[in-house]
Structure 1
Amino acid sequence: MNQQIQNRKTKKKKAKKQTFRDTLKEMLPEKTHEYLPKGYEQMGTIAILQLVEETEEYALQIGNKILSLNKQIKSVYQKTGSMRGEIRTAIITYICGIENSETVYLEHGIRLKLDPARVFFSSRLSGERSKLLANFRPNVRVLVMFSGVGPYSLTAIKQNLNISRMVSIELNEIAHNYALENLLLNTNLLKKCQSCLQLCNEMQTGGIIRSAFRKLVLKNLAQLRFQFICGDVRKECLKISKPFLPLDTEEKKQIENENNNTKNKKTNLHNHWDCTEILNSNDYPKILKAFIDRKENEEIFVDFSKIQKQQFRLWLILFCKKLNFFCLIDNSYFKFHTLWEKGIFLQWIETGDLSSITKFDRIIMPTPKNQKSFVNLIAYTADTGCIVNMYDFVDEDDFPLKTENRIIEELKKLDKKVEILGSYKAGQIGPKSYRTRCDFKILN
């Protein structure tokens, strides 16, 4: 036995794997060794280096070495400044390779198209995003503030297919447009979600078997259920928190008077095509043809006192881009014209409650550094029991009480009670300085 132990001790140790810094030491002067980078940030086909003054003159040599070591990398850039402006863009300078800073980055099975020179994005938060968004309860309503190109939003969708509704808000128009593109890049994620499976089965049963319609359902369902808004978070949160209201009393009276004077009520209500009767036929090919024959941007009428609302879900999704909707719901008239309004319409069809549509069960707040507090927005957007994940930047001596006390105090002023669930360090940004996350629950 002793001999076996001795043999194990005397076995050759495996050679230590050479690090990126070790590789650079072999090719650069000794005076630079203590200043050399330990690594670089990779986003798809792009590498981003962070160099100090003592090594900047060797940027080209280091960049070329990266290209030779990592065949996935096609372009190398250097970060030459901190985040700038309200829209948080990085200052990066081209070093070598192909001069193109746009790339497609793969994160946990999600494709994200982006340009790090024009939008804020950190691949180093990949693990944090995956961990944070791993567990949602079914049919949750999600709000993502400062959503960027969509990493938090799309990770949430990937890991929780049956999210009821998601709203993501971003100020940077370029990042917002990338987010819209990224949603379409990842629509295949929805193939296994319960709603999509139900809709495809419904079409199959009804005799609609063309694959083009299945693809359209997938694309439109994604855009109705997961909505991206470009705008200031403060203004947009106040807008989306307002209840969705019917037409006012005067407009309702005018519509009813015109309807009473209409000779052919079956097909004409205030000059609208009334699809109520044909929906009750349950003849899917006939309904499909009738909707296809309508004009682009035509407003059609539906009386929900005469049909089951679930009957209309498929047609809303299929034709949300082509048609607008004018509906009688619980003796009140509503108009649904924009994709935003049609998304609200879809949630009403699926949940039956217009009053709670503008509230959320989960709020993600990857708050930018050096920004004013946005805590008060939670009071307008959070439903009772909502879980909030809010990021902050604090020094080690202030963690975690500075953030926790601010949350409690600011929401108390708005008559909101809070339960702190936990505070965590989510990355070091400087000496004794951290990106942190506070998780808390809204109790009323």
Structure 2
Amino acid sequence: MNSLERRLQIGLGLSLVLLIGVLWVVGNQSVRGLTEDFVASRLEHDAESLLAALMLDSDRTKLRWRRLNQVYSQPLSGHYYIVRLGEGDVFTSRSLWDHFLDIPTLSPGDAERLYKEGPAGQKLLILVKGFHKSGIDITLAVAEDMSPIQARRDRFKLGFALLAFVGLLLLLLVQRLVVRRSFHSLEAVREDVRSLEQGKTVKLSEDVPLEILPLVQEFNHLLSLLTQRMERSRNAVGNLAHALKGPLNLLTRYFDVSEGREQTPQNDQAWAQIERIRSLMERELKRARLAGKGVSGQHFNPHLELADLAKTLQLIHQDRALDIQLQADDDIPVFGDREDMFELLGNLLDNACKWAESRVVCRMTLDGGVRMVIEDDGPGLTEQELAGLTRRGVRLDETVEGHGLGVSIVRDIVKLYEGTILFRRSPELGGVRVEVVLPLETS
């Protein structure tokens, strides 16, 4: 589970469930303890009244029942007593009727609570205490039926459970709203990242929550370093190329046979090497301008840029009246660096226009990435020439005329974007078909 919001909601929800559960258990135990303590205190008062009503003398033992609560005289009333004199006589309340309760014999000063089943299945709480009166050890047991109290307690437990459940649902709802509202403040960062991806901005806004401000600042710092490093690299290559142009032009004029200089094998070889140096320098200058994927900058929008590219090609090849069709599906997002894509499409389309008889077609679709298919109705290439264009390790600028430096730059861009490129004969137009697939970056 990668969603921080989901994990936070689940963690807080489980904490609330655990808290409500603990409160319910502790509340039930507390209510049970309070009710039993209250009944036990009442039974203790009854035991003292019973002890006071007990008359012990040498002739006989008498219990003055008129001094007792009349509830002990009503059969199965739920209130009972048992008096045991030492190990001998036992007195029981009339309310017990013919039911017998077994109680232990306690020493004076001892007390014990018992839970037993009484007459008619009543659930009794029995308080047993030991006394010493008039030289006789006495064990008194006073009992009360807990069934009515338990019934009311069960109703309270049910009401408390319903209240706790409703309260838990409300707390979970409030928690969800609070967490979602807190994470909503991160939407601004997401929008900034989307704008950065589309090339609408060059850095993230730092008007964000304090918890993620260091991350945003560090990200902006890395973007700035990357941009500066790319600029320095491009400038360095450009400066080197411009510095070499002067001496290279002098050498070019010196070995230019058209100016009347003697044409010797040495001069021809020097001239060929100068042209080779010029070609290499132009290629490296173009490569230095490549940005690659994942770099901050203005991204290529095919829905806006293809129309301008078609107009430019029409102007360049206006003397040939070519039918240039550039199409892009509506679901293709912005992608790649704008200059890189212009370089890639520009070279491929320019080559197609050079070889075409009358028609050039470019189609862009979304299929495992951005798929670009460029076709022309020119004479095409042989299988050997097509294999030379795609063979790894072959210098393309030395293979097929008209596909030299431009195709080399195209291969560099495709490699930079970890894409694929395929050359073959067009089954529809008969010329060359170039198919390029550039994977889209996943966020």
Q: TM bucket by the smaller chain?
A: under 0.3
**Bigger strand fraction:** 1
**Bigger helix fraction:** 2
TM-score normalized with structure 2 length: 0.21
